Structure 1
Amino acid sequence: MILSLLRMKAIMQKEVRQLTRDRITFAMVVMIPLIQLLLFGYAINTEIRDIPIAIVDQSESEVGRIIAEAVEVTQVVTIVQRYATVHEAQQAINDGTARAVLILPSDLTQRIAQKRTLGQWLVDGSDTMISAAIMQLKNMPLNMLINYQTSQPATFEVALFFNPQRRSAVNIVPGLLAVILTMTMILFTSAAVVREKERGNMELLITTPVHPMELMLAKILPYVVVGFIQVIIILGLGYYVFDVPINGSVVQILLGTLLFILASLTLGLIISTRAQTQLQAMQMTIFILLPSILLSGFMFPYEGMPVPAQWVAEVLPATHFMRVIRGIILRGADLLDVWRDTLWLICFTLLGLVGASLGFKKSLD
């Protein structure tokens, strides 16, 4: 068999023309590596800074103010709130407002004179990278307050909540629930509408009295059951195999997961109504999946990202569900405690359904 360069050239020219005419595919070829390289190269940072913390200064003294300033100067933490009682501060950890609390006792001056530990950190240990960063402050020097002639004792005591053994599985398994649901739910529905076009079923749908919103809901509801099956498998294995504690209510877990499943399925529908082919739908899905995994806080702490990357992360449903599911499972929170993330998932689903319905209407014109 003799290869013909002319025939090969003709086919290559056809492929290039076809690629340039397919605007979405051509844009993905350029934009996927460009945007993701800039985004992830800039956003992924294992050096954590500006961890939101609260402080309870029971001493109400000038020394307490100096210690608070010294802790904040490290740039590892940022004081976002001050509370009068330890109970209020612990509630801030439970609802995710603060990742740690610094408690300065009323006898702070006496502790300095006696060269004892000056206070205590209460830390959300469910995130091992966050707790490791706070642990670095355990022995921070405060030479402006006390001059140790011998070996310096720990400046602060540390109490790790929710994961005192600092096991990574405790943090990873709930996060995997968000990642796996993101991948499967978006993949299921990203080709749902465009598949009807490619199979020639769109004309049938046009002739039926089905309303666009009815079609969108009918497309996603069957996959809700699939999502719950995955939830049972992941949490069951996490509990029995990896000994991940489930501190929250099962009802709260299921409700929070339902909101995220609906949001993810809706995101897939938006992709499906915008794509012209299943290949385009798959490319757009990949474009969404990578940021959802890398910017949601699953692999790298949200606090370690620069502000522009956090803005991108805040748009993604996976970021909000990561906080919700870890809060419920590990900290025993409920949906009201994490109401901001709960509200975002609800609004995203409603707006997404409207957007997908309008996109389907346009495809009928």
Structure 2
Amino acid sequence: MFNRLWPVMRKEFIHIRRDPRTLAVMFIAPLMQLILLGYAATTDVRHVPLAVFDQDRTSASRDLVEAFVVSGQFAVAQYASSDREFAALIDSGQARAGLIIPPGFAADLTGRRGAQVIFVLDGSDPSIAGSSLSAAQLIGQAKAVEMQVERRGPPAPLEVRTRVWYNPDMASAVFMIPGLIGLVLQLQATLLTSSAIVRERERGTIEQLIITPITPYELIIGKILPYALVALVITIEVLFLGTLWFGVPIKGNVGVLLAISCLFLLSTLSIGLLISTVANTQQEAFLLTFLTMLPSVFLSGFIYPIAAMPPVLQFVSGVIPLTYYLVVVRGIVIKGIDVTLLLPQVGMLTLSGILLIAFATTRFHKRLD
């Protein structure tokens, strides 16, 4: 039996040896998964950006803010001077939590009823909101005990009242469904573009296209646009299904979301075009697409909070287009915020799209030559 099996096995080993790129991807992918999961797969967020609206401005209010900072769980992102500015900080994502200290806070601490503060959480990311909620309650209890000891009296002088914005129930579906829009959009656009061009090369029909009067740039646009339209239809499909089936309401402007999705498509289609300049077969294109998806899944904030990652991985997440698109899609779907608060993310998506499409076009042009 082995005498019959060995020739077949030997033939397959020869094929594997003759395709070193596929073999390299097969060995690199598990290493990337191990490293990324080892460092990125954590929800223990530290130094959560905190917006502070201190209406008392006394030493007692400053001591309370200091207690939040000293815990290591929070870091003051900015002090707000009004309710509108406080809300804008959380809407834009500059702060993931907020502390409102009412006027008369110091005076209330010395009274019998004690004082109250409001702690606001951005519920659009349940993992950060959950850990921040627990930390805020513990900090409030610790501060209350400290004040009780100082006063030598039984009543608790401080109460931290919590408010969860955007996702009061902190349901994971509200967080995951908008993120899936970006992930599905990237996977489909990248895979369809890379495999379509490689398929032309495998069949030998791309040479027939090259000798036609059409220019390389027109060829690229003609190949990409149909898949861009398909990807947009997929986006609408996921939005529609997420709203009806999972009960995730869209609070923002759908037209704005689709327009920004087109910017994101520039990057994803360019990645597919880059893969097509490297891959010789559709199998290689699929494996390379899978390899590029790993950083996007683990480092973009799709599952794990970026703030919980090591600084090196946070830097890497900054060059992944999906990182910025997730902020946009979650901001529009979950928060319903205005596009003006998303201008930094829109700018980065535009810049990455232009750079990637220029590089991919140059590479593809050279490959055609």
Question: Structure 2: how far apart are the matches of 1:112 and 1:190?
Answer: 65
Query: Counterpart of 1:191?
Result: 195
Shift of 1:192: 2.4
1:30-49 to structure 2, matched below 5 A, reads 30-49=27-46
> Residues 246-290 of structure 1, C-alpha deviation per residue, up to 9 Å, x if partnerless?
221122121122222332222211111221221111111111122
1:236 paired to 2:240:
yes
Residue 121 (structure 1) aligned to one of 106, 119, 122: 119
Residue 131 (structure 1) aligned to one of 129, 132, 142: 129
Question: Structure 2: how far apart are the matches of 1:120 and 1:219?
Answer: 54
Shift of 1:22: 2.5
Report the AA paired with residue 362 of structure 1.
Answer: K
Residues 237, 15 of structure 1: alpha-carbon distance in 2 compared, 3 angstrom cutoff: closer
Shift of 1:75: 1.9
Shift of 1:245: 2.2
Residue 357 (structure 2) aligned to one of 353, 357, 363: 353
Question: Structure 2: how far apart are the matches of 1:349 and 1:150?
Answer: 61
Question: Does the 8 Å CA contact 1:125/1:161 hold for their aligned counterparts?
Answer: yes
Question: Structure 2: how far apart are the matches of 1:154 and 1:212?
Answer: 69
Question: Does the 8 Å CA contact 1:220/1:262 hold for their aligned counterparts?
Answer: no
Report the AA paired with residue 110 of structure 1.
Answer: A
Residue 364 (structure 1) aligned to one of 345, 363, 368: 368
Residues 327, 202 of structure 1: alpha-carbon distance in 2 compared, 3 angstrom cutoff: same
> Tell me, which stretches of 5 or more residues in structure 1 are unaligned?
none
Between Structure 1 and Structure 2, the one with more helix by share is 2
1:57 paired to 2:54:
yes
Question: Structure 2: how far apart are the matches of 1:218 and 1:204?
Answer: 15
> Residues 101-140 of structure 1, C-alpha deviation per residue, up to 9 Å, x if partnerless?
1112221212222353442112211221222122111242
Query: Counterpart of 2:294?
Result: 290
Query: Counterpart of 1:308?
Result: 312
Shift of 1:11: 4.8
Question: Structure 1: how far apart are the matches of 2:368 and 2:229?
Answer: 29
Number of positions where the alignment pairs a residue of Structure 1 with one of Structure 2: 362
> Tell me, which stretches of 5 or more residues in structure 2 are unaligned?
none
TM-score normalised by length of structure 2? 0.90
Question: Structure 2: how far apart are the matches of 1:250 and 1:56?
Answer: 32
Question: Structure 1: how far apart are the matches of 2:339 and 2:275?
Answer: 28
Residues 155, 307 of structure 1: alpha-carbon distance in 2 compared, 3 angstrom cutoff: farther
Residues 206, 92 of structure 1: alpha-carbon distance in 2 compared, 3 angstrom cutoff: same
Question: Does the 8 Å CA contact 1:117/1:157 hold for their aligned counterparts?
Answer: no
> Residues 135-186 of structure 1, C-alpha deviation per residue, up to 9 Å, x if partnerless?
1112421144443854747631111111122222222221121122122222
1:263 paired to 2:267:
yes
Question: Does the 8 Å CA contact 1:139/1:155 hold for their aligned counterparts?
Answer: no
Question: Does the 8 Å CA contact 1:274/1:359 hold for their aligned counterparts?
Answer: no
Residues 58, 207 of structure 1: alpha-carbon distance in 2 compared, 3 angstrom cutoff: same
Question: Structure 2: how far apart are the matches of 1:255 and 1:116?
Answer: 51
1:1-365 to structure 2, matched below 5 A, reads 3=1, 5=3, 8-114=5-111, 116-136=114-134, 137-140=136-139, 141-142=142-143, 143-147=145-149, 149-150=153-154, 152=156, 155-365=159-369
Q: Secondary structure at the match of 2:163?
A: strand
Root mean square deviation, CA, Å: 2.2
Report the AA paired with residue 167 of structure 2.
Answer: N
Q: Secondary structure at the match of 1:53?
A: strand
Report the AA paired with residue 235 of structure 2.
Answer: V
Shift of 1:9: 4.2
> Residues 288-309 of structure 1, C-alpha deviation per residue, up to 9 Å, x if partnerless?
1222222222222222222222
Report the AA paired with residue 206 of structure 2.
Answer: M
Question: Structure 2: how far apart are the matches of 1:286 and 1:154?
Answer: 52
Question: Structure 2: how far apart are the matches of 1:12 and 1:94?
Answer: 59
Residues 150, 180 of structure 1: alpha-carbon distance in 2 compared, 3 angstrom cutoff: farther
Q: Secondary structure at the match of 2:137?
A: coil
Residues 46, 85 of structure 1: alpha-carbon distance in 2 compared, 3 angstrom cutoff: same
> Residues 57-116 of structure 1, C-alpha deviation per residue, up to 9 Å, x if partnerless?
222222222221210122222212122222111101111111111112221212222353
Report the AA paired with residue 252 of structure 2.
Answer: G
Identical-pair percentage = 35
Question: Structure 2: how far apart are the matches of 1:219 and 1:77?
Answer: 49
Q: Which runs of 4+ in 1 moved over 6 A?
A: none
Question: Structure 2: how far apart are the matches of 1:29 and 1:250?
Answer: 40
Q: Secondary structure at the match of 1:155?
A: strand
Report the AA paired with residue 50 of structure 1.
Answer: H
Report the AA paired with residue 244 of structure 2.
Answer: Y
